[in-house]
Every structure is written in C-alpha cells, then in structure tokens.
Amino acid sequence: MSRATVLACLVSSSVLALTVAAASPAQAAGVDYVALGDSYSSGVGAPGQSGICLRSNHSYAAQWAARNSPTSFQFLACGGAVTDDVVKTQVPAMNSGADLVSITIGGNDAGFAPTVLTCLTSSDATCTAKVNQGRAYVANTLPGKLDATYAAIRAKAPGARVVVLSYPNIFDTSSVLCEMSTTKRKALNGGAQALDDMIKSRATAAGFVYADVRDNFAGHGVCSSRPYLNGLTIIPPQNSYHPNVNGYTSGYLPALTGAA
C-alpha cells in the first residue's frame, strides 16, 4: 500500500453505527455503562477492529467492561466521530438510565487528521501554521461544540457519572531519529495540550469528571523506545497515530478506572 493511500485513510470520514456488547461477571453489577466518542474510544490502533466504526475489544472501554461486568454496556464510540456525530447519532442511541458514560471527543473537530497529514508532507513552517490554525479553532469554536455535546449527554442521562478523557501527547520529543522533525513534534504536542486544556475547561464547567491520560503516556510517545502509540502505519493505515494495545491498557484504562 502506498504512502499516499495511508495518508488518505487518515482523513477519511466515517459513518456511525450502533453495537451493544455484553460483559462478563465482575464487580460493577448494577452499572449501565455507555462508551461514546471517536477513534480513541472505539479502539482504533489496536487489533481486532470491526465494522464501519472500527471498534476493538482492546479499547479501554471494552476492557473496562470485561473487567468490571456492568449490567449493560453500550459501545457507541465510532472512529472518525466529531461532536455533531455524538449529538445526532450516539446520544440518541444511549440508554437513558446510564450510570456511567465515558467519552473522548474534539480531536476530529480540531482537524487532527488533516493536521498530521500536513506535518507529514510539508515543511516545519507549514506544519506549525496548520497546528496554529487548529489551535484557533480550539479557542474560538470548539468550546461551543463541546458545551452542546456535554449538554446533550446530561439531558439524555441526567443521573450518569460522565468521564471525559483527554488525548495524549503523541510524540516523544527527545529522540533524534523520528518520522517527523523535533519542531513538528513539539508543534503537534503543543496543539494537543491546547486541545486538552479546553476539553478540561468545558468538561469541568459541565460538572463532568475529567480524566487526564497524559502522565500515563509520558515517555511512551511515537519514536520512544516503548511507544504506547503507533507511528505511521501501512497495514492497517487507520492505526497511524492512535494508541496501541499498551496505550489502551496502560494509558487509558487506568485513567477510566480511577475516575469511574
């Protein structure tokens, strides 16, 4: 598969679909759990992805359900989702009696995939300019999008504990050898920081629990010796710059467990 094909897959949009997965017996009996969000919640980057939403049982959501056996588990997260998809498709499919809801959202709204594509194929200056464009969106437009999304979740499941998880910094910046320059890696990590700061602000304002995964991923970015994220991936191409199994198990799962 060509590099162009891999990069094209990074910017492809997705259609949302609904699946409901059962959990095994364990300690969260009586809890109805719903996993919302985008590819970082559906499990893109891990093995076993299926369906048009690319859901994997190695995602942090599916792993939490398998370990804790909630009464019900709705796995609604979908690769490629933006805030409007959550509001229009995922929230309406939610169980109104949900006790626990988890979500990652906002990265695609801010142009994650096109920004990575630009940084892969362009100069340091062009990459930085593209990241700054995304940061402007995060500062000026995304807050309203997040507020509307969080309000829709609260309206559908008024009694739920809602855990909003952050995104990790994707790149290790200490390694000399990497698929992107240090300037590009620092710019992208700075953009992720700005995104996470805004998500934290709006989640807190909504009365939700914010779970930061960045400390768990520290030292495990792309180009580190033990990465928790995939770099540019040929097969399957959508795995590029998404958590691997270690990222979901050691990065995301502890954050949800600690916040749930």
Question: Residue 25 pLDDT > 60, yes or no?
Answer: no
Residue 75 is inside which H or E element, if any? strand 72-75
Question: Residue 17 pLDDT > 70, yes or no?
Answer: no
Say whether 128 sits in a helix, a strand or coil. Answer: helix
Question: Residue 13 pLDDT > 90, yes or no?
Answer: no
At 30, the pLDDT band (50, 70, 90 cuts) reads confident
For residues 128, 134, 226 and 242, what is the CA-based torsion angle, rounded to 10 degrees?
-140
Out of 14, 39, 42, 102, pick the active-site residue: 39
Q: Which domains does the chain have, with CATH numbers?
A: 3-259 (3.40.50.1110)
Task: Report the chain's mean pLDDT, rounded to a whole number.
Answer: 91
Out of 14, 58, 240, 242, pick the active-site residue: 242
Q: Say what the pTM is.
A: 0.89
Residue 37 vs residue 13, higher pLDDT: 37
Catalytic residue list contains 242? yes
In angstroms, the CA 19 to CA 77 distance is 9
Query: Mean pLDDT over residues 233-240, rounded?
Result: 95
Q: Express each pLDDT in 167-177 by its tens digit.
A: 999 999 999 99
| Structure confidence at residue 15 (pLDDT) | 33
In angstroms, the CA 198 to CA 193 distance is 9
